[in-house]
Amino acid sequence: MTNIGSRSFIGLAGSASVGGYGVAIYEFQALNCLLLLGFFFIPVYFASGVSTVPEYLKLRFGSNRLQISIAVINLITAAVIMLASEMYASSLVIQQSLGWDLYTSIIVLLLMTAVYTVAGGLKAVIYTDAIQAVIMMIGASVLMFIALSKIDWSMDVLREGYMAAIPNTTGSIFANTSCGVPTEKVWHIFRPADDPGLPWPGSVFGALVLGCYFWCTNQVIVQRTLAARNVTHSKGACIMTGYFKILPMFLMIIPGMISRTLWPDEIACVDPEICQEVCGNPAGCSDIAYPRLVVELMPTGLRGLMLATMLAAMISSLTSIFNASSSMFVLDIWSKFRPASTELELVIVGKLATVVMVIVGVLWIPILQAYGTGELFTYIQAVNAYLAPAVLAVFTAAVLWKRVNETGAFWGLLCGFTIGFTRAVLDFVFGVPSCGQEDKRPSFLSNFHFLHFAAFLYVFTLLLIVGISLLTEPVSPQKLVRLTWWTRFSNLPREPMTEGDEERAQIREEARKQATIRARSRTGLSWKVMNVICCIHGNGESLKRNDHGDVEGDVHEEKVMDEPEEEIMSAAYENPKWARFALTDLGNIT
């Protein structure tokens, strides 16, 4: 539920204003993916005792190259999909409410996010997200009722108004096309297999692949479930979130369609010059559907509360992306090349990595705007369809099949990602035509829908992983203890996946412990300020100096030292009573 932010409101409402009910399939598929997360992936993540998703692959396969590869892919997707789209969506809200230009809005948003990040961290994100999500749901519910009142609380009136919501310039610009003209398919979620927007095979299989990647393997999402007390709490959270996934149909999609009926010339504009004047994007203005409702329909007090809450949620979402990305870069990439890094060094490197990602995300926004018809949600799903399936295939094989090994996983990932990345590059080179433009793409691009491509690439990568693994040496069962679905409850000691893993871990652990002692024993004002800015907790109060001036005492570290195996097993253990309760809820929601 707390992942609901500006991308959801703006993306879903915007796509609904163009294509109707169809976009709801992504939210309904998310329900299935949440159940897979809670009942298949999370038990294995907890049993393995990992802190990040790529770290699981390191334990499962013992390969730095695989862990680093997944981290790099996740950082790319975080920058060009999550970060760029969140900044763009957030800037649209500011632009529509305050009248600022796009990049001024982004700069102000980033400055506010920087303050929020320094003052809080992941813990602040989790707590504030929960509060903001509740307020946004209340505000969105109020807006839904106000919007419904504009159509006399009648879906028949909505149907009539939506079908008549054709911009005035359509006929004069595109005389022989249906640009800007709604068709009957907008009232259907499942559409013909040759539908250019949402073909039903893609909606059933491709959207499931994209959803499972986002919910089950994406560090930004999974880090929240890994922060739960135990597996049972995570399952309950996934089930509850699944129930809330029914709400976007009523809170975002139907209001988005109503927005088009109220302002067809702006929301459904097809003339590039008019679109540029209305929203600053010549490709289309569908993404302003929800902000226009908030600004124009809500009463003054509620409007301010809703905009403030949406802004806070945007900042929180950006902070969540920053935290996840910096954690991945530091733990999964930087620490592999500098295993004895101090805590201060890791924090500074993480902050610098975040700055680089922000720059990439800002530079990518013009490409995002120019994609296709300018629909934010379509852009997000299309790029995910090219980059995500190979990653999901690796995690699926790792969790469910003990026979898969590092060689199969790595080369399967490399081949699958290369194919997907090539398709993405070709899409951006040839361009996805907007309505009324000639499609100059090769037939293998124009006739291969991105959702069909996602399903194909997932199956192809999975078969490649299986084939290569069967042709190479299997992994010893002693090395798979608590690393697969079938071995998650094993009490046996786990052998290191590769020789030297245990020794390197002990060396790294001792080096970080000594570095932490040195950092926290510095009591000067400048060091205290540095620790506060870098979110390093602890001021050395538990440390004492002996007669020789050496620091002694306990050092408590968070997310640096591995947890004891007993504690890991305790978190992975489920109380039978609550496990049955979770299964009952699972039956209810399915």
Alpha carbon of 15 to those of 26, 186, 298, 471: distances in Å? Answer: 12, 11, 22, 45
Same domain, residue pair 10 and 111: yes
| 368 within some domain | yes
Same domain, residue pair 388 and 527: no
For residue 544, is pLDDT > 50? no
Going by the DSSP 8-state scheme, the letter that residue 340 receives in this structure is: T
DSSP per-residue string spanning 262-304:
H-HHHHT---HHHHHHHHS-TT--GGGHHHHHHHHHS-HHHHH
Same domain, residue pair 26 and 151: yes
Phi and psi, residue 191, nearest 5°: -125, 170
| 573 within some domain | no
| 586 within some domain | no
| Nearest by Cα to 189 from 30, 26, 35 | 26
Mean pLDDT of all residues in 106-117: 79
Same domain, residue pair 452 and 516: no
Please report the pLDDT score of residue 264 as a whole number: 93
For residue 471, is pLDDT > 90? yes
Question: Cα–Cα distance between 12 and 18 in angstroms, integer?
Answer: 10
Question: Cα–Cα distance between 71 and 81 in angstroms, integer?
Answer: 15
Enclosing H/E stretch for 370? helix 343-370
Percentage of the chain lying above the pLDDT 90 cut: 36
| 588 within some domain | no
Residue 150, classified by CB atoms within 10 Å of its CB into exposed (0-12), middle (13-18) or buried (19+), is middle
Tell me the Cα Rg of the chain.
Answer: 25
Q: Which range (161-175, 368-382, 540-554) has the least confidence?
A: 540-554
Phi and psi, residue 552, nearest 5°: -140, 160
The 3-state secondary structure of 163-201 reads HCCCCCCHHHHCCCCCCCCCCHHHHCCCECCCCCCCEHH
Q: Which range (338-352, 384-398, 526-540) has the least confidence?
A: 526-540
Mean pLDDT of all residues in 487-492: 87
10 — pLDDT class (breaks 50, 70, 90): very high
Q: Which range (124-138, 248-262, 323-337) has the least confidence?
A: 124-138
Same domain, residue pair 424 and 521: no
Question: Cα–Cα distance between 35 and 25 in angstroms, integer?
Answer: 16
Of 449, 470, 491, the one marking the end of a domain is: 470
Please report the pLDDT score of residue 525 as a whole number: 62
| 38 within some domain | yes
For residue 350, is pLDDT > 90? no
Same domain, residue pair 248 and 367: yes
Please report the pLDDT score of residue 511 as a whole number: 58
3-state secondary structure of 396: helix
Please report the pLDDT score of residue 51 as a whole number: 79
Find tokens 């560090």 and name the residue. 219
Per-residue pLDDT tens digits for 192-233: 999 988 999 999 999 999 999 999 998 778 877 888 888 888
Find tokens 């060396």 and name the residue. 507
For residue 550, is pLDDT > 50? no
Please report the pLDDT score of residue 506 as a whole number: 60
For residue 504, is pLDDT > 70? no
Torsion of CA 528, 541, 52, 382, to 10 degrees: -30
Domain extent for 158: 6-470
Look up residue 508 and give its amino acid. Answer: R
Under a CB-based contact definition with an 8 Å cutoff, are residues 465 and 393 in contact?
A: yes
Give CA angle at 64 (59, 66), nearest 5°.
85
Beta bridge partners of 551: 545
Same domain, residue pair 404 and 542: no
Under a CB-based contact definition with an 8 Å cutoff, are residues 35 and 242 in contact?
A: yes
| 512 within some domain | yes
Mean pLDDT of all residues in 459-486: 94
Question: Which positions ≥6 away from 280 have C-beta within 8 Å?
Answer: 95, 101, 102
Same domain, residue pair 517 and 438: no
For residue 584, is pLDDT > 80? no
| 476 within some domain | no
Which residue would you say has higher pLDDT here, 135 or 191? Answer: 191
Per-residue pLDDT tens digits for 300-338: 888 888 888 778 777 777 877 887 788 888 888 888 888
If one counts the domains in the chain, the total is 2
Phi and psi, residue 544, nearest 5°: -130, 155
Residue 259 structure tokens:
């927005």
What's 38's domain CATH number?
1.20.1730.10
For residue 117, is pLDDT > 80? no
Please report the pLDDT score of residue 189 as a whole number: 94
| 568 within some domain | no
512 — pLDDT class (breaks 50, 70, 90): low
Same domain, residue pair 193 and 74: yes
| Nearest by Cα to 34 from 331, 242, 265 | 242
Same domain, residue pair 463 and 545: no
Q: Which residues of 505-540 are buried (b: 16+ CB within 10 A; e: fewer)?
A: eeebeeebeebbbebbbeeeeebeebbeebbbebeb
Question: Which positions ≥6 away from 54 have C-beta within 8 Å?
Answer: 67, 68, 70, 71, 74, 219, 328, 331, 332
Same domain, residue pair 462 and 515: no
Average pLDDT, the chain: 82
Please report the pLDDT score of residue 23 as a whole number: 95
Question: Which positions ≥6 away from 11 have C-beta within 8 Å?
Answer: 85, 89, 287, 375, 376, 377, 380
Most confident region among 60-74, 259-273, 366-380 by mean pLDDT: 259-273
Question: Which positions ≥6 away from 406 have C-beta within 8 Å?
Answer: 61, 62, 63, 66, 475
Please report the pLDDT score of residue 546 as a whole number: 43
Find tokens 């929960």 and name the residue. 130
DSSP E strand boundaries for 84-123: none
| Nearest by Cα to 218 from 344, 113, 73, 326 | 73
Same domain, residue pair 421 and 554: no
Mean pLDDT of all residues in 157-184: 78
Please report the pLDDT score of residue 558 as a whole number: 39
Question: Cα–Cα distance between 149 and 321 in angstroms, integer?
Answer: 37
Which residue would you say has higher pLDDT here, 402 or 5? Answer: 402
Give CA angle at 146 (144, 147), nearest 5°.
65
Please report the pLDDT score of residue 200 as a whole number: 95
Alpha carbon of 174 to those of 42, 181, 284, 341, 370: distances in Å? Answer: 51, 11, 15, 61, 19
